[in-house]
Amino acid sequence: TKIESKSLLLKKELFNLNDVILNALDDIILSRDFNGENVRLLYRPQDILLEADKGRITQVISNLLSNAVKFTEKGTINITTKIDEDRDLIVIGVKDTGTGIDPEILPKLFSKFAAKSFSGTGLGLFISKSIVEAHGGEIWAENNAGGEGTTFTFNLPIAN
């Protein structure tokens, strides 16, 4: 597939990351998986200009939010954005208070193998990793301290 052969065609444009996150949050709130009675979405809007494929970055953010909603029955899902000026990167995080991830699966989480074994995520994380890497960024996941939930983080180069 195109994703595996690393020939993912990117249509880069300059856009405000904040708009993409707000739209993704709106979509999540309207989804049937979201339980607004037991789960709170937290996000402090921050204008960050990004030169990237807007559709593909939307896909990554929506996928991470969708997974967080799927595995968080109650608690919070917190989206963060920050600029790492030392490394010229934009860092986006999605932290939830869900079930967490089996430590044995964590190292393989973004592979096609994990998509089959870690029920519920499909190929979304594998595709997200391919998109982020095609932009020159990195993506990773770690269980939160105290064993409550997971944080998915990815970074992308700052627009020139």
Question: Distance between CA 75 and CA 68 in Å, rounded?
Answer: 11
What local confidence, expressed as pLDDT, does residue 5 receive? 44
Question: Distance between CA 142 and CA 100 in Å, rounded?
Answer: 9
CA angle, residues 109, 140, 132, in degrees to nearest 5: 100
- Mean model confidence pLDDT for the chain: 90
**CATH architecture, range 12-157:** 2-Layer Sandwich (3.30)
What local confidence, expressed as pLDDT, does residue 114 receive? 56
Please check whether residue 34 is in contact with residue 69, taking contact to mean a CB–CB distance below 8 angstroms.
yes
What local confidence, expressed as pLDDT, does residue 85 receive? 93
What local confidence, expressed as pLDDT, does residue 6 receive? 58
- Residuewise pLDDT in 10s, the chain (160 residues): 455 545 689 999 999 999 999 999 999 999 988 988 999 999 999 999 999 999 999 999 999 999 999 999 999 999 999 999 999 999 999 999 998 998 888 888 898 765 555 555 568 999 999 999 999 999 999 999 988 999 999 999 986 5
Domain boundaries, the chain: 12-157
Please check whether residue 77 is in contact with residue 41, taking contact to mean a CB–CB distance below 8 angstroms.
yes
Please check whether residue 141 is in contact with residue 31, taking contact to mean a CB–CB distance below 8 angstroms.
no
Element (H, E) at 127: helix 124-134
Question: Distance between CA 27 and CA 76 in Å, rounded?
Answer: 17
pTM of the model: 0.90
